[in-house]
Amino acid sequence: MTRRIAITILLTVWAAIIIAGSAAWGVAYFVMRNQLDRSVLDKAKEIAVRSTAAGGGPANRLKMAIEVEADPNVVDKKFISMPGGKEIRQIVYVRREGGQATISLSADNFRLTLNVLAASLLGCGLLAGLMAMLLARRLAQIALRPLRQTADSIAEIDESKLDRRIAAAELPVELQPMAGRLNELLGRLGVAFEQRRRFLADASHELRTPVAALITTMEIALRRPREAAELAETLQMCLSEARHMRVLVQALLRQVRSEGQVNDELTEDIDAGQMLKECADLADSLAIEKQVTVVRSVQGSVPIRAVVGRLRSVVLNLMSNAIEYSPPGATVEVSAANADNSEAEIAVRDNGPGIAPEHLPHIFQPFYRASKHRESEGHLGLGLFLVKSHLKAMGGDCRVESLPGAGTTFRVRIPSSAALTPNGGR
């Protein structure tokens, strides 16, 4: 970058110097040649005067002088190289009384002067070019210093310093939009890294307590000789603890996978109603166990574009939550409909106890549990977080409405399929 700018400046300056030098030499050439020609004519005059003195007739002398002094009818002017490296200037003119006269004068002086001039112009040009080169480099360095500083500050940024920003105001105006975009990028990366850091911190936090339980239980068991039955009981405790940890680890793995891009997965055009019915069939066994009825409500076709595995996980997650929190005898209503031309909506509604308003804004956060009891095994507070992650990856979203005592509705928005035109049936 620096080099390119320096070269540009250098070439510009150099071209200017060459043009100026050439012009100067050209002007000098014409001026000096005219002077030379005048010298030649002066010489002619002198010769005329001398020849008069030598004995030419006065009339003749006068005529010649007048001829030369007045605008002579010059027919040819040329430089002639003489043997021996000499050069002469020769002017041929037509005499008024007829015939031609040719006068020559040595052009050595003229040549010498022009050559000296050319040499000094060339020398000056080279010198000026060299200076231009140094100047250009210096100028480029000065002009690009903020850019270098920016590069240095970018080089210092790593994942632990994503809160740093490029000082856009110090950059040349042309570069400011780029700095602005870079700062926005840093902002987005910062948010993403912070989310990931939080998730990891939360996950390790979630793992610490069961690990502590395992270690403590086994350490105490090993402190003294125990009966086989007591040891079996301890092992049983450890096993259930380890199983709980397995659930957690699997959920973490699922989360890591769900964050991946949807691009390399197969997005399909499917019917949301069909998907909903399949999921409801799967959820029925759980519902029967809890004496809950699952009511399906799908009208017409609801074409959507989604990753089947992800969407199934979303719907099953919401359904099993709804069934779990419903009292015996209650109904869980699941529906699919075209929301508008670009999106479809899948809703899961229960008549359970609802979610308290203070918990509502947090339920999609990882490891958030409305009840702080860790007793309910398998409830890690990751289910709804996964729902959100899956939907985000597919360009959808999930919202929740809940009234304590009246029940909860989860509304999933998912892009409609472009291949099939929604028939608007609701």
Partner 1 sequence: MRILVAEDHATLARSIANGLREEGFAVDLTADGDEALQLTRANPYDCLVLDVMLPSRDGWSILQHLRKTGAQTPVLMLTARDAIEDRVKGLNLGADDYLVKPFAWDELLARVRALVRRGHGQKSPVVQVGDLQIDTAGKTVQRAGKPISLSGREYALLEYLAHREGKVVSRGEIWDHLYDQTDETTSNVVDVYIGYLRQKIDRDFEQKLIHTRRGLGYVLSADL
**Residue 325 token pair:** 């929190």
- In the complex with partner 1, the residue whose CB is nearer, 100 or 216, is 216
Q: Are strands 73-81 and 87-94 parallel, antiparallel or unpaired?
A: antiparallel
The count of residues in the chain is: 426
Minimal distance, residue 239 CB to partner 1, in Å: 10
- In the complex with partner 1, the residue whose CB is nearer, 60 or 236, is 236
Torsion of CA 296, 297, 303, 308, to 10 degrees: -20
- In the complex with partner 1, the residue whose CB is nearer, 30 or 193, is 193
Long-range pairs for 21-30: beta carbons < 8 A, 24 or more residues apart: 21/121, 21/122, 21/124, 21/125, 24/117, 24/121, 25/114, 25/117, 25/118, 25/121, 28/114, 28/117, 29/114
- In the complex with partner 1, the residue whose CB is nearer, 80 or 215, is 215
**Residue 235 token pair:** 């092992």
Binding of partner 1 at residue 224 (CB under 8 A)?
yes
Q: How far apart are CA 14 and CA 28, in angstroms?
A: 21
Minimal distance, residue 160 CB to partner 1, in Å: 16
- In the complex with partner 1, the residue whose CB is nearer, 1 or 215, is 215
Burial class, 54, CB count within 10 angstroms (exposed 0-12 / middle 13-18 / buried 19+): exposed
**Closest C-alpha to 366, from 198, 240, 209, 225:** 198
CA atoms in the 13 A half-sphere facing the CB of 394? 33
Binding of partner 1 at residue 371 (CB under 8 A)?
yes
In the shown chain, the binding pattern of residues 231 to 270 toward partner 1, with x for contact by CB under 8 A and - for none, equals: ------xx-xx-----------------------------
Minimal distance, residue 199 CB to partner 1, in Å: 15
In the shown chain, the binding pattern of residues 111 to 140 toward partner 1, with x for contact by CB under 8 A and - for none, equals: ------------------------------
- In the complex with partner 1, the residue whose CB is nearer, 91 or 248, is 248
Q: How far apart are CA 397 and CA 329, in angstroms?
A: 30
Q: How far apart are CA 82 and CA 79, in angstroms?
A: 9
Minimal distance, residue 221 CB to partner 1, in Å: 8
- In the complex with partner 1, the residue whose CB is nearer, 3 or 373, is 373
Largest alpha-carbon pair distance within the chain? 160
Burial class, 416, CB count within 10 angstroms (exposed 0-12 / middle 13-18 / buried 19+): buried
Between 176-221 and 228-258, two packed helices, what is the crossing angle to 10 degrees?
170
Minimal distance, residue 235 CB to partner 1, in Å: 12
In the shown chain, the binding pattern of residues 372 to 391 toward partner 1, with x for contact by CB under 8 A and - for none, equals: xxxx----------------
Minimal distance, residue 378 CB to partner 1, in Å: 14
In the shown chain, the binding pattern of residues 182 to 221 toward partner 1, with x for contact by CB under 8 A and - for none, equals: -------------------x---xx-xxxxxxxxxx-xx-
- In the complex with partner 1, the residue whose CB is nearer, 97 or 227, is 227
Total residues interacting with partner 1, rule: CB under 8 A: 26
Minimal distance, residue 420 CB to partner 1, in Å: 49
Minimal distance, residue 207 CB to partner 1, in Å: 8
Minimal distance, residue 205 CB to partner 1, in Å: 5
Q: How far apart are CA 40 and CA 65, in angstroms?
A: 13
- In the complex with partner 1, the residue whose CB is nearer, 41 or 380, is 380
Positions touching partner 1 (CB under 8 A) are: 201, 205-206, 208-217, 219-220, 223-224, 237-238, 240-241, 371-375
